[in-house]
């Protein structure tokens, strides 16, 4: 059934909003690279900071979320610098060596930073206060608080299990076996990171597999980690009091960022684009599976492995899309890409139904309600469910457009509606484009390069 949802007053108010007006586009042409993968960038900084010695990271995403992680690791003792060549160098403190930060850690808009760092702190003998912006402060943290409390951390949160919150770590912490009640790579990763400094074996059981960047990278740094498929699901076991070895890391392009350009090239007539160096980890690539099911023309060029992750260049040409019922089992591998999938569905023939995505309610915004409202503002009919949307497509015709989009401080809402504007009959105004800097600071520059124009202008 359709649902009505109210936002907490003041929860999505920007201090210095930067509105933008986006106009329709001619064909997108050319080759473009997207910034480094956000999930991998966070983990690369954290694990490098826990290794003994010097790690080097190439291709790190320099968005606000990742920079918040870098600042937090510096505050807890790691030495982190950026060279003029764009390569980041990290001198770690070793597992168990995190220091008491002098002030609260400001996580900005980054839920990943917050939840994973809570895990790191939980098994160290330090006390850390986490704060964030209005959007992050509205997001629940109970799903991380529960298992970390079982490991012995003392966590005091604001009402509703929200930020600001304080974590008093316990050393030695208590190893646990924890079955994830919801599919969440962030919860899994927080527990495994806490397990690094916990004697004994910490286990996480995943009934539904989620993105596996933490497992790949922990193993790469030398942690004693095993993964077993069982009737109960994936069982990830980590032997604690680990000694991590410094690494040379190359971060592939972020598939979540690439998805915006892939959809743009798919829906804008005459387009032919190559998006270079895209990470295609199977636990992250669900958006490309869904788009191909709809008829998208996506070809993988030069498939290769970079830093243990599958990578390829994606050639994307305009294609007519047909509505589908999105398989619910794709949700864990494309949870961040639903907003841009909804835009693709708005341009398809028929009604696309996407269900099984409850997690969208607790992202940077309530992405189901926010996208239903945003699509409605540009003339797209939708039906809202508790776990997704039905989107009535235009049959390939241009979208009506017009209106001003409330982005709710959510970078993916802002970018998704910017892509929708490229095929809209009237310009679309984004009420605040500033959150885009959290994950894709050069998003508009990438679009301009493919458009061969510079008419994506500030309003």
Q: Which residues are annotated as a binding site for phosphoenolpyruvate?
A: 38, 111, 139, 186, 367, 412
Half-sphere exposure for 20 (CA within 13 Å, toward CB): 20
Q: Is 394 helix (H, G, I), strand (E, B) or coil?
A: coil
- Give the separation between CA 426 and CA 405, rounded to whole angstroms: 13
Check residue 151 and report its DSSP letter.
T
Annotated active-site residue 154? The verdict is no
The structure tokens listed for 414 are: 């802002």
Check residue 36 and report its DSSP letter.
B
DSSP 148-193: HHHTT-EEEEETTTEEEEEEE--SS----EEE-SS--HHHHHHHHH
The structure tokens listed for 15 are: 């201090």
Maximum Cα–Cα distance across the chain = 61
CB 95 within 8 A of CB 244: yes
Q: What are phi and psi of 430, to 5 degrees?
A: -95, 125
CB atoms within 10 A of CB 81: 11
Among 102, 118, 244, 221, CA closest to 173 = 118
- Give the separation between CA 429 and CA 123, rounded to whole angstroms: 46
The answer to whether the peptide bond before residue 164 is cis (omega within 30 degrees of 0) is yes
The structure tokens listed for 217 are: 């990278």
DSSP 320-379: --B--EE-GGGGGGTGGGHHHHHHHHHTSBSEEEE---GGGGGSSS-HHHHHHHHHHHTT
Which residue in 336, 410, 431, 432 is the catalytic one? Answer: 336
Tell me the chain's radius of gyration from C-alpha atoms: 21
What are the residue numbers of the active site?
336
């Amino acid at each position: 059934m359709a649902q009505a949802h109210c936002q907490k007053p003041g929860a999505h108010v920007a201090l210095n909003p930067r509105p933008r007006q986006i106009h329709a586009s001619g064909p997108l042409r050319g080759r473009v690279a997207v910034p480094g993968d956000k999930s991998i960038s966070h983990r690369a900084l954290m694990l490098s900071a826990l290794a003994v010695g010097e790690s080097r990271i190439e291709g790190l995403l320099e968005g606000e979320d990742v920079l918040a992680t870098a600042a937090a690791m510096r505050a807890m003792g790691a030495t982190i610098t950026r060279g003029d060549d764009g390569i980041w160098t990290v001198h770690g403190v070793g597992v168990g060596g995190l220091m008491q930060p002098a002030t609260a850690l400001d996580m900005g808009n980054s839920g990943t930073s917050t939840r994973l760092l809570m895990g790191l702190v939980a098994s160290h003998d330090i006390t850390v206060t986490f704060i964030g912006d209005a959007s992050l402060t509205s997001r629940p943290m109970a799903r991380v608080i529960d298992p970390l409390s079982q490991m012995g951390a003392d966590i005091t949160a604001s009402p509703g299990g929200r930020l600001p919150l304080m974590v008093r770590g316990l050393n030695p912490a208590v190893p646990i076996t924890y079955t994830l009640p919801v599919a969440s790579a962030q919860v899994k990763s927080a527990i495994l990171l806490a397990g690094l400094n916990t004697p004994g074996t910490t286990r996480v059981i995943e009934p539904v597999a989620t993105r596996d960047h933490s497992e790949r990278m922990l193993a790469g740094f030398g942690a004693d980690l095993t993964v077993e498929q069982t009737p109960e699901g994936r069982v990830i076991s980590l032997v604690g009091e680990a000694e991590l070895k410094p690494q040379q890391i190359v971060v592939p392009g972020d598939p979540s960022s690439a998805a915006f350009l892939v959809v743009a090239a798919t829906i804008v007539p005459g387009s032919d684009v190559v998006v270079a160096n895209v990470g295609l980890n199977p636990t992250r690539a669900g958006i490309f599976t869904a788009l191909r099911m709809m008829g998208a023309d996506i070809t993988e060029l030069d498939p290769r492995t970079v830093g243990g992750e599958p990578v390829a260049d994606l050639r994307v040409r305009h294609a007519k899309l047909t509505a589908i019922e999105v398989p619910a089992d794709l949700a864990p591998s494309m949870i961040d890409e639903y907003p841009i999938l909804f835009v693709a569905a708005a341009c398809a023939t028929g009604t696309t139904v996407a269900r099984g995505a409850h997690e969208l309610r607790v992202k940077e915004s309530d992405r189901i309600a926010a996208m239903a409202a945003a699509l409605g503002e540009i003339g797209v009919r939708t039906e809202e469910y508790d776990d997704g949307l039905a989107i009535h497509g235009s049959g390939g015709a241009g979208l009506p457009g017009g209106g001003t989009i409330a982005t709710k401080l959510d970078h993916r809402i802002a970018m998704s509606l910017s892509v929708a504007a490229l095929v809209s009959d009237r310009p679309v105004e984004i009420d605040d484009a500033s959150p885009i800097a959290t994950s894709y600071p050069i998003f508009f520059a990438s679009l301009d390069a493919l458009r061969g124009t510079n008419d994506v202008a500030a309003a």
